[in-house]
Amino acid sequence: MPHPSVNRRDLLPSSRRKFIRTVGAQVIAIPLGAIAYPTLLLAADKPKLDPAEPTATALGYTHTAPNPNKNCEDCQLFKSSGTAKWGRCAIFSGKLVNAKGWCYSWSA
Ligand code: SF4
């Protein structure tokens, strides 16, 4: 048992202290990043909606709204993904729609 005046940190080799500090910081940083930016993580794994897909075609989806005052980012079914340009839509689940896009199901 070390003498009470000896600091316990002095007993660890510096490489071990450095390893514990580095790994500890990463273990904390990764979950904090996921909490801070969950929408970015969600957006990153979803593909963008192709306007040529049958459902998109049936609903007249386009990446550029014909009326700039009626676009996806103003639609009730749109949920921002954390990026300015793309977001999720309740109709096209699993895909991202363009914030400046539009389809026949647009609703105020
Ligand atoms: S319903 Fe249509 S207009 Fe509304 S967010 Fe989805 S794709 Fe855009």
64 and 86 assigned to the same domain: yes
pTM: 0.63
- Number of domains observed in the structure of the chain: 2
Residue 29 or residue 48, greater confidence: 48
Residue 63 pLDDT exceeds 50: yes
> 50 in a domain, yes or no?
yes
- How many angstroms does the Cα of residue 73 sit away from the middle of ligand 1? 8
What is residue 1's three-state secondary structure? coil
48 and 89 assigned to the same domain: yes
Residue 4 or residue 51, greater confidence: 51
Ligand 1 binding residues, C-beta < 6 A: 61, 72, 75, 77-78, 89, 91, 97, 101-103, 105-106
Residue 45's pLDDT is 74
Integer Cα distance of 40 and 33 in angstroms: 10
C-alpha closest to that of 63 among 103, 106, 93: 103
31 and 60 assigned to the same domain: no
47 and 70 assigned to the same domain: yes
Say if CB 92 and CB 47 are below 8 A apart. Answer: no
* Residue carrying structure tokens 């990764």: 30
Alpha helices by DSSP H, listed for the chain, are: 14-36, 38-44, 54-58
48 and 85 assigned to the same domain: yes
Strand order in the sheet with 86-89: 78-80, 86-89, 96-98
Give the structural domain span for 20: 8-36
56 and 76 assigned to the same domain: yes
